[in-house]
């Protein structure tokens, strides 16, 4: 069974602070996706990282995929109250044949940014 461990589970910070969320696994994934989920809604994709060592930026969010493709981090600069939400990482596992896959999710990091 492939597991993704996210840390911290809960994070409460003040507006303007920086933060990093971690996603770790003992398994190698073909790609890793980060989602954000707000209360009462489904997760929405933020980014997909595919190549080991890859870094992607999305405004104030920076995503990194580990060299061994087992771990990832999300760094938010100058957090704002609008960043509040549940951040989920998900690893893609490809079925034999290579055309189908499923996502295994971590438990998420619940971020609260206080004004």
Partner 1 sequence: NAGVMQNPRHLVRRRGQEARLRCSPMKGHSHVYWYRQLPEEGLKFMVYLQKENIIDESGMPKERFSAEFPKEGPSILRIQQVVRGDSAAYFCASSPRAGRNNSPLHFGNGTRLTVT
> Can you give the binding site for partner 1, defined by CB under 8 A?
9, 30-31, 33, 40-45, 48, 50, 88, 90, 92, 94-95, 98-108
- Minimum distance, C-beta of residue 79 to partner 1, in the bound complex (Å): 22
- Minimum distance, C-beta of residue 64 to partner 1, in the bound complex (Å): 16
| Residue that the structure tokens 């609260």 belong to | 112
Q: Tell the burial category of 6 from Cβ atoms under 10 Å away from its Cβ (0-12, 13-18, 19+).
A: buried
- Minimum distance, C-beta of residue 85 to partner 1, in the bound complex (Å): 13
- Of the pair 9, 77, the CB lying nearest partner 1 is at 9
Angle at 55 between CA 109 and CA 38, to 5 degrees: 30
- Other beta carbons within 10 angstroms of residue 25's beta carbon come to 22
- Of the pair 99, 115, the CB lying nearest partner 1 is at 99
């Amino acid at each position: 069974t492939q597991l993704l461990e996210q840390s911290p589970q809960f994070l409460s910070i003040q507006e303007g602070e920086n933060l990093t969320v971690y996603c770790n696994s003992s398994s190698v994934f073909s790609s890793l996706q980060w989602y954000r989920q707000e209360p009462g809604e489904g997760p929405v994709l933020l980014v997909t990282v595919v190549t080991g060592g890859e870094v992607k930026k999305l405004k104030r969010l920076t995503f990194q995929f580990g060299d061994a493709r087992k771990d990832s981090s999300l760094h938010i600069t100058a957090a704002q109250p609008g960043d509040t939400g549940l951040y989920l990482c998900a690893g893609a596992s490809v079925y034999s044949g290579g055309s189908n896959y499923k996502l295994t999710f971590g438990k998420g990091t619940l971020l609260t940014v206080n004004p």
